[in-house]
Amino acid sequence: MQSLDFESGDLAVTEEFLNSAYTRMQIGNDGPREVRTRIRREVLGPINFDQLDMGFDMAYDADPLGRVCLVTIHSGQIEEIYHDFGPDTFVPGQTGMLTPHDLPYSGVIRTSRFDATMFDPAILNRVATGAGEERVRLSGHRPVSTTAGHRLRRVVAHLQQIASDPDAANSPLTVATASDYLAATVLTTMPTTAEHEPDATDRHDAHPDTVRRAIAYMESHLGDRIAITDVAAATFVTPRALQLAFRRHLDTTPLEYLQRLRLAAAHEQLGAALPGDGQTVATIAYRWGFTHPGRFATAYRRAYGRPPRQTLRG
C-alpha cells in the first residue's frame, strides 16, 4: 500500500475512506465538535506508519483489521473495548496494541492525535525464537513494563523517520532490517505467546559446529534479507539453540555478529570508494542495513578508531 494523505470534514466521506484504508467499519460523531479528520501514511516495506488527527469524538465498530496495530497517543484519548480484556483507555504518552488482528473491535477516539503502526502478524512468527509451528500472538495490549513502553515508542519513532526518507524506504536491505527490528522489539516489549527458554535438545545442539555453519551462511548472504530463523534453518538447529551457541562460544548474539560482519563490509566498501563515484557514507551505510547514520558512525568509530568519512576520503 502506498503513502497517502487524507483530509475531510464530512462524516460519510471519512467513513468511506476508513473502510478502504483499514477495514469495514461504521462510525459516528459521539461529541459536540464538528467532524475533522486528517490522516497521513508513510510506508516502509510491510509496515504502515499512520499519523491520525481526529478532531472530533469518533465512535467506531469495526471488523477484524487483519494486522497488528500499535498506537502511540499524543493528545486526547482512545477508549477501546477489548473482547479478551474488557474496556481500557489510552492517554497521551502511552503506547500499546489497539486491537488483536483477528477480532472485531470498537470504541471511541476522543478528539485525539495519535500514531498507528501496522504490520502483518506473520512477521512476528518469522522473527520469534522458539515459535515452532505455533503462531505467535500478542497476549496483552500493553507493554510488559514502563521501560518496555519507552523502548517501543523510541523504536517506532526511529522507524517513522526512516520511512519518511525516500532513499532508506527504497532500500531492500533497509526494509528487511526495519521489519525484523520492529518485530524483535515487539516480541521483547509486549506480552506474547513466544517461548524464549532453550530445551535439552537446544542445549545439545549449541556446539561450535553450529556457530561455524551459521557464520558461513551469514558471510555468503551478507547482502540478503535474512532473519535469525533463516540462519537457524540453514544450520539445522532451532533459533533457541542458535542463540545459545553464540552466547556460549562467542559471548554475543547471532544478530550482533551479523551486524559486525556488515560493519566490516561497509568498512571495505568505504575504503574502496573512488572520488567522483557518487558514494557517500550514508549510501554505503544503507547498503549494509545501517539505517541511522549517527549510530552507524558511532559503531564504526568504536570498531575502527576513526569516523567513516575519514575512511571514505582516505
Are 72 and 146 members of one domain?
A: yes
In a domain, 180, yes or no: yes
161 in the same domain as 266: no
Residue 269 has pLDDT above 60, yes or no: yes
211-261 per-position pLDDT tens digit: 999 999 999 998 777 777 788 889 998 878 888 999 899 998 888 898 899
| 84 found inside a domain | yes
pLDDT for 287 equals: 84
If asked whether residues 34 and 163 sit together in one domain, one would say yes
CA distances 153 to 91, 157, 183, 220, Å, are 14, 6, 13, 34
Confidence band for 133, pLDDT divided at 50, 70 and 90: very low
* Per-residue model confidence as pLDDT tens digits over 155-211: 999 999 999 988 888 888 888 889 989 999 999 899 887 765 667 888 898 999 999
The reply to whether 55 and 167 lie within a common domain is yes
Residues 133 and 271 both lie in one domain: no
- For residues 231 and 180, is the Cβ–Cβ distance under 8 A? no
Reading the block at residue 49, the C-alpha cell is: 506508519
Quick one: 78 and 187 in the same domain? yes
In a domain, 224, yes or no: no
Domain boundary among 126, 161, 196: 196
User: In the prediction, which pLDDT does 183 show?
Assistant: 93
Answer yes or no: is 205 within a domain. no
Q: Which three cell numbers stand for residue 282?
A: 550514508
pLDDT at 66: 95
Strand partners of residue 57? 110
- Choose the final residue of a domain: 177, 196, 215: 196
Rounded (5°) CA angle 268-271-276: 125
| Predicted confidence band of residue 130 (pLDDT cuts 50, 70, 90) | very low
Residue 193: predicted pLDDT: 75
Q: Quick check: 302 pLDDT over 80?
A: yes
Q: Specify if 187 maps to a domain.
A: yes
Q: What is the mean pLDDT of the chain?
A: 89
What is the residue whose three cell numbers read 554505503? 284
Residue 252 lies in a domain: no
Domain CATH for 290: 1.10.10.60
Please indicate, yes or no, whether residues 21 and 91 belong to a single structural domain of this protein: yes
Position 80 in a domain: yes
What pLDDT sits at residue 84?
53
pLDDT value at 131 more than 60? no
Confidence of residue 291 (pLDDT cuts 50, 70, 90): low
Confidence of residue 2 (pLDDT cuts 50, 70, 90): low
Backbone angles phi, psi at 56, to 5 degrees: -150, 175
Q: Are residues 190 and 270 in the same domain?
A: no
- Report the CATH number that the domain containing residue 143 is assigned in CATH: 2.60.120.10
In a domain, 220, yes or no: no
Percent of the chain clearing pLDDT 90 (strictly above): 57
The string of pLDDT tens digits covering residues 66-92 is 999 999 999 999 999 875 556 789 999
What are the C-alpha distances in Å from 32 to residues 56, 76, 112, 153?
8, 15, 14, 32
Grid coordinates 501514511 are at which residue? Answer: 41
| pLDDT at site 175 | 86
What digits encode the pLDDT tens for the residues 107-119? 999 999 999 999 9
Q: What is the number of structural domains in the chain?
A: 2
**Are residues 179 and 304 both part of a single domain?**
no
- Same domain? For 291 and 191 the reply is no
Residues 109 and 20 reside in one and the same domain: yes
Same domain, 162 and 286: no
CA distance 232 to 222: 15
Other beta carbons less than 10 A from residue 281's beta carbon: 22
Question: Among residues 214, 255, 203, 257, which one has the least CA distance to residue 236?
Answer: 214
**196, 219, 240 - which closes a domain:** 196
* pTM greater than 0.75 (yes/no): no
Residue 294 has pLDDT above 80, yes or no: no
What residue numbers bound the domain in which 56 lies? 1-196
Q: 230 φ, ψ to 5°?
A: -65, -45
